[in-house]
Amino acid sequence: MKRRILGGTGISVSEYALGAMMFGSWANQDHDDSVRIIHRALDAGINFVDTADVYSSGESEDIVGKALKGRREEVVLATKVHSSMGPDENHSGNSRRWIVREIENSLRRLGTDYIDLYQIHRPDPTTDIDETLAALSDLVRAGKVRAVGSSTFPAEQIVEAQWASERRGHVRFRSEQPPYSILARSVEAAVLPTAQKYGMGVLTWGPLSAGWLSGRYTKASDIDLTGGRAAIEKHKFDPSLPENARKLEAVSELAELASDAGLSLPHLAIAFVRSHPAITSVIIGPRTMEQLEDLLAGADAELSEDVLDRIDEIVPPGTDLNRADSYYVPPALADKARRRRRPETGAGAA
């Protein structure tokens, strides 16, 4: 397994990172099987493991902690904070109050006294980035965290965080973790160039685009909207929607291209993400040992210029075939009150 340096930190990480979202109640509920999958990944040369507090409400971190007993020092361990961990509104977000509390919970679940890469899972419009970075800086100084990063931040907020770190003397985000696949390429326009400008490492998630590039969908009837992820996020799977019909058409063309290149569709998809010069590591998220073995088999796949050019023809650079696959909606768009001037009241109102 080839290695790259994470964002100038000097930390050497494998080109594949093992994502642990599928371990726990959200997917693979067998802890022993999940531990075996993690061990197999480590034995194959993957030294980068990525999880989050919210995955299966902490269960994923518990499983990763079990798997790393006796092997912690050989692993670059990443986790995240931000998402809701309970009904209390203060048990989420990017405030100092929550970060300094939740890091202790993650350390306990993971069975370690430090996190190699602690990431802010999403932007928080209610918290000043200066507040967040100050809290993270204290964690680094305390030895609980080695480096910090962001996840699914738009380019302008990456820049704002870098400026705040410089002006306030905080530690800075050394990495960004965006969604990136052949079907969801919008990060190529600004996020990836911005990360490169600031010397940030990039570990991407969703290279198989929520299963679209796994090879399981070849026609509309293959998509079951009554169960699994497709039932929860129908707007990303329903083939009757024009944006998803475009995805299905692209998948058909990509499968043919992969076959002509002597590759499986998943191997083509991950090799495409790895080929971008901004990318440090690609997160793979297997649920089963069989899935892991298949992904490992494509770890050395390289794409020719001709194949990359053909991919650009099928899905143009910087394009998301379904805008929902960006996984982040700016508050200015999500909250209609931010887009509508309140009607004037009282004297002088029309």
Catalytic amino acids?
Answer: 55
Contact 175, 147 (CB under 8 A): yes
C-alpha distance across the termini of the chain, in Å: 69
Pairing of strands 173-177, 115-120: unpaired
Closest among 90, 156, 166, 78 to 130, alpha carbons compared = 166
Contact in structure between 64 and 25 (CB atoms under 8 Å): no
Tokens matching residue 31: 């802890």
> Max alpha carbon distance in the chain (Å)?
74
Which secondary-structure segment (H or E) carries 135? helix 129-141
From start to end of 142-246, where are the E strands?
A: 145-151, 173-177, 201-204
- CA dist 290 and 79 (Å) reads 25
Q: How far is 219 from 112, CA to CA, in rounded Å?
A: 46
Residues 6 or more apart from 11 whose CB is under 8 A from it? 5, 76, 116, 117, 146, 147
Q: How far is CA 226 from the centre of its chain?
A: 26
Closest residue by Cα to residue 1 from 17, 12, 11, 15? 15
Rg of the chain over all Cα atoms, to the nearest angstrom: 21
Residue with tokens 């020719």: 304
Alpha-carbon torsion (24, 29, 35, 36), positive or negative: negative
